[in-house]
Amino acid sequence: MTETAPVPHRNLSIDQQLALRTAATHLSRQFDGTFGQETIERFLNSSYDQFAGRSTIPNFLPLLAERFARQCLHALAKVEGHHTDGKSIVLFLCVHNAGRSQMAMGFFQHLAGGGAVAWSGGSEPGNGVNPAAIAAMSERGIDISREFTKPWTDEIVRAADVVVSMGCGDACQVFPSKRYLEWTLDDPAGRAVDDVRPIRDDIERRVRGLLDELGVPAQH
């Protein structure tokens, strides 16, 4: 496949421009036959812009943009009927996508063992995943340190089979014929690990219950 070249952003270093072009090539190969170059570049550039305003490590921006664009394109492929593997998709939403939704996604991915898919997002994404949440999950053998905070998009919500809100309020988009759950949980922001553990354990119980409802056997 011919290498793609997204519209360059202003004030990008040569390395960042190269990284974005490489990301576009990766995505074009992955979605070859599903989406054209223009669609892929649009999602990649939009994803880059989503993170550019709040990232503290500019060199990571192309990688974050590629990861988020990939998720958005997967979601769009499902919405448009291009991709149907039969796996349920659960979307966990909270305000900052830094604690509750990240822990829920971590448990879901760990316990589902590939039998279902978990995504997460925030109405006001923070600058990074809560260190106390990372530490609490590490105690359970689950590494969420490499996750990143992100928003949600229309296609992501529309592609999900179940949307779990954890304090998003009216910010959570509602689409007909979609299952919505509201989990009332304390916000771990600003709390020590000792205070996060009960929240973590509550999330695990709820995730296990949801997997059972979806007919997906917990692997651990």
Three-class SS state of 94 = strand
For residue 219, give every residue at least 6 positions away whose Cβ sits within 8 Å of its Cβ, in sequence order, or none: 110, 111, 112, 113, 115
Burial of residue 14 (CB within 10 Å: 0-12, 13-18, 19+) is exposed
**Is 94 labeled as catalytic in the residue annotation?**
yes
Which ranges constitute the DSSP H helices of 80-190? 100-112, 131-138, 154-159
Q: Of these residues, 76, 94, 132, 136, which one is catalytic?
A: 94
Active site residue 168: yes
Catalytic residue among 132, 168, 196, 210: 168
Whether 72 is catalytic: no
The structure tokens listed for 74 are 């997967």
Element (H, E) at 89: strand 89-94
Q: Which candidate, 148, 133, 119, places its Cα nearest to that of 56?
A: 148
DSSP string, 165-218: ESS-GGGS---TT-EEEE------TT--HHHHHHHHHHHHHHHHHHHHHHT---
d(CA 178, CA 78): 14
Q: For residue 181, what are the β-bridge partners?
A: 164
Single out the catalytic residue among 172, 196, 199, 216. 172
Active site residues: 94, 168, 172
